[in-house]
């Protein structure tokens, strides 16, 4: 009786994992937009300079991590290194810069699942020293570990962090003027 119950539970879990592996997407993408009351060059600098970015980004506080900048800040290859108890567990690297138009990052961390994460900020100057910002998140997860970010809410949490980042960017650049 107990053996039958355990086998039934085990088979149910196995079938559920197979179904999730097949049906859950490996690609996670979204776009968020915001208008800022600040000139485009100030917004561009606040994003590309890692020292400034860490002042408005929600990630250090929310992950209780320390940050350090490696390589020439504000240039291609600049990295924000994430540290916990003095040990590096990840970084984000500036991979593309188009002056006052685009800043792109590659992100990596010691997550329990493999992924390829890219983050792009697209900027457009609009009237009266205002700037339109579009944040584009593009993450490719590897099977079968892609199941865990979905079922444990990591994707929703990450999206929420990007919304906090845009709010932090808004506050940062608008209060500097």
Specify if 7 maps to a domain: no
In a domain, residue 8? The reply is no
In a domain, 11, yes or no: no
Domain that residue 119 falls in: 27-176
Band of residue 57 on the pLDDT scale cut at 50, 70, 90: very high
pLDDT (mean) for 120-137 = 95
Does residue 93 belong to any structural domain of this protein?
A: yes
pLDDT given at position 61: 85
CA distance 27 to 117: 10
Residue 162, domain member (yes or no): yes
For residue 16, being part of any structural domain is answered with no
Tell me, yes or no, whether 22 lies in a domain: no
Per-residue pLDDT reduced to its tens digit, 19-52: 767 777 788 899 999 999 999 999 999 999 999 9
**What is the rounded average pLDDT for all residues in the chain?**
88
Domain with residue 67: its CATH number is 3.30.530.20
Asked whether residue 19 is assigned to any structural domain, the reply reads: no
Q: In terms of Cα–Cα distance, which of 166, 156, 90, 82 is closest to 121?
A: 166
Residue 68, helix vs strand vs coil: strand
In tens, the pLDDT along 64-96 reads 888 889 999 999 999 998 888 888 888 899 999
Number of independent structural domains in the chain: 1
pTM summary value: 0.87
Instruction: Give the residues across from 123 on adjacent strands.
Output: 133
pLDDT at site 177? 60
- Which helix (H) or strand (E) segment is 130 a member of? strand 130-141
CB 115 within 8 A of CB 139: yes
């Amino acid at each position: 009786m107990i053996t039958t119950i355990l086998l039934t539970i085990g088979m149910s879990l196995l079938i559920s994992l197979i179904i999730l592996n097949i049906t859950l997407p490996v690609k996670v993408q979204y776009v968020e937009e915001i208008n800022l009351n600040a000139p485009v060059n100030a917004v561009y600098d606040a994003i590309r300079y890692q020292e400034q970015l860490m002042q408005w980004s929600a990630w250090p506080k929310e992950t209780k991590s320390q940050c350090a900048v490696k390589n020439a800040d504000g240039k291609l290859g600049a990295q924000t290194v994430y540290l916990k108890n003095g040990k590096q567990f990840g970084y984000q690297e500036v991979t593309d810069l188009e002056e006052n138009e685009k800043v792109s990052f590659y992100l990596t961390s010691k997550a329990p699942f493999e992924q390829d994460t890219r983050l792009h900020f697209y900027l457009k100057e609009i009237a009266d020293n205002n700037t339109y910002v579009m944040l584009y998140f593009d993450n490719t997860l590897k099977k079968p570990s892609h199941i865990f970010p979905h079922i444990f809410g990591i994707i929703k949490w990450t999206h929420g962090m990007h919304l906090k980042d845009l709010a932090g960017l808004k506050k940062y650049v608008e209060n500097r003027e």
